Chain A
């Protein structure tokens, strides 16, 4: 046994992130750590990296009990993590990123650049990667950055490598190259913890799996003894076909259309339309231009060319308030950074987009604000004790509801949702889906960016598939297969 976690528990302000979780990692094996967002995977990883301390439980490494008080202890125990949000230094060179925090020094105490350069070169050659050691990280592609991170763990002589969704934003070709590297690592006697949402890839690459749900251990077994459907059931806690509420609405006439949208270096030839009561999905790799298009439609960034039609009228959107006035709103993927203002009250957040409506010649009318908050609360069931409570004190799901409430207050007709269920627990997730169904029934039209194919297939009527800033195709979801969509999104057909 390489690594064994016993009875690990961790609480955050009363929220149980992990409850008595056991986890076993065999020597030279690739172990999938699975679970929905918020299931406790990242907490577990952060405990292994020394970022968090468990409230209780034991960590055995090579059959010896260990504590991991800080990140450097984790590294010296031979645990190295390749993070999803890259823990990299954009302005520094590849060599330096590989050796970061662990520069080789000469006997006189000075950094030995020559030796580090040579070692990096050798490593990159071994990994068959075409990267210059002198290049700055900011000039590399996402796949190349992963390889630099892998080199970093090899330099540290880590024998446990944690990979957090390493393939999330890679093309198929890059993914295959990464698989080769991972299998090579295994041959070199490394143990790998592999976190991924792509179950097909888990079954292809991994030897064992562990599923967490709501902070509890659900199942741990060999991959051979399971299949994709079973894994989904473990993760979601119910049958697959129950996840997404079917919305049986009659789709009406076209309400929104874009023609030939073009933004230099970001996207071009973007044409699609949206019909009333429709949910239109946007699928593609991270960085395929989906968010960039929505930002331009919403007026955050400027379009270079193209026109936007709303109810058959050409409209001009120069800034977000133009879009909001028209009834088009955009919920960003980055809820914390772009959606809400954590240090202001729930009431302020709910009313933030309708301040002018809630004031008489600029003077705020608190009664109107409370009325609107209460109306939204009734609709969304936000769990809040006082309206003046700070938004950051709410749970993730309730924060998301607050953001949605902010936008529903503007009475929009077109709702743009960017990864609306990223990072929230299963129950809140299905609540969001159900709610989307209700909104559509009430007459709203939705555009939804999602990287989760099941969500796209379950919720949408049509899906726009994007690759490198171009629309590859617009498919009717009922007639499309998931294989077809994935292929289009990785630019293969």
Chain B
């Protein structure tokens, strides 16, 4: 029982509940099913990206280029849809994923083959991918009336009165849960992040895993490229600017250790939910939206400090009974 109470994921879950209850008292409208389902829909893209970022963080790396990747993939399919509105929406989704994957593979190659440190690589591609959007679009926006109906319709499909986005996030959660906990690939990611030197002894090819992790991160960024554009019915050079930091924050809050090899899929989702909840709850309790950024910054800091403190306490080996 004590173990459960001290479990990170449980604590995180409790915090989410407490916030929900507290906000509910201040503003009962916030805890209606409709409002909660809105929060879930609103957080879905964050959940998907946090889960794919987690794969990269597990092997002691970070992908700062996800938001730019998302925006570029989104812009490319939007431009295509203005020219070929007749194509089915699945075609666009698949294409967006392919573009995202290619951009992810490029990151992986730079890191694994060219040996450019991951910070430098993804900092570089963050600019490059963002810059390419201007080039392909001439700096113009694609507005809602330029998309085909089909393109935008899928996102509004509802099932059990919950949105398509939400169910997609659930699906991604299940897939990544199985991938990380029940496949050799996933377990090897944990080993590689936990002890890279030892991983070599058991024959894990580090370069292959780096490229794979970044391609997965790219794949989901591409997927979210479609989701983002369709949800907000706009593609521009500015979409999702700075969102990579929100994604990383979700992982950190969710207990994914940036030192590699530690973290649960559930924790990651809870981290994303907590951040999404706070973003949505602030207006509900009459806190100006301008406070949002500062509050999420403070929460990230608090989360890391608590994480580090508990980790450091655990590490102390006991030799003498005092």
Contact = CB atoms under 8 A, between A and B. Distances in A.
A111 B319 contact: no
Nearest to B184: A103
A344 interface: no
B290 interface: no
A193 to B, nearest CB: 16
Interface stretch (A70-78, A197-205, A359-367, A429-437): A70-78
A265 B191 contact: no
Contacts of A469: 319-320
Contacts of A72: 202-203
Contacts of B194: 89-92
Interface size of A as a range: 35 or more
A469 B319 CA distance: 6
Contact of B184 (A111, A289, A468): A111
B114 to A, nearest CB: 21
A51 interface: yes
Interface string A438-470: 000000000000000000000000000000111
Contact of A267 (B178, B199, B262, B319): B319
B159 interface: no
A67 to B, nearest CB: 15
Interface in B151-208: 178, 181-184, 187-188, 190-191, 194-195, 197-204
B108 interface: no
Interface string A228-268: 00000000000000000000000000000000000011111
A265 B203 contact: no
B207 to A, nearest CB: 13
B261 interface: yes
Contact of B182 (A49, A92, A111): A111
Contacts of B320: 265-268, 289, 468-470
Contacts of B315: 138
Contact of B202 (A71, A90, A268): A71
Nearest to B197: A87
Nearest to B202: A101
Contacts of A70: 203
B316 interface: yes
Contact of B201 (A49, A90, A91, A470): A49
Nearest to B181: A111
A91 B190 contact: yes
B198 A87 contact: yes
Nearest to B320: A469
Interface of A: 49, 51, 70-72, 75, 81, 83, 87-92, 96, 100-103, 105, 109-111, 113, 138, 264-268, 287-289, 468-470
12 contacts: A71-B201, A71-B202, A72-B203, A75-B202, A91-B261, A100-B191, A101-B204, A264-B322, A265-B316, A265-B317, A265-B318, A265-B322
Interface of B: 178, 181-184, 187-188, 190-191, 194-195, 197-204, 261-262, 314-320, 322
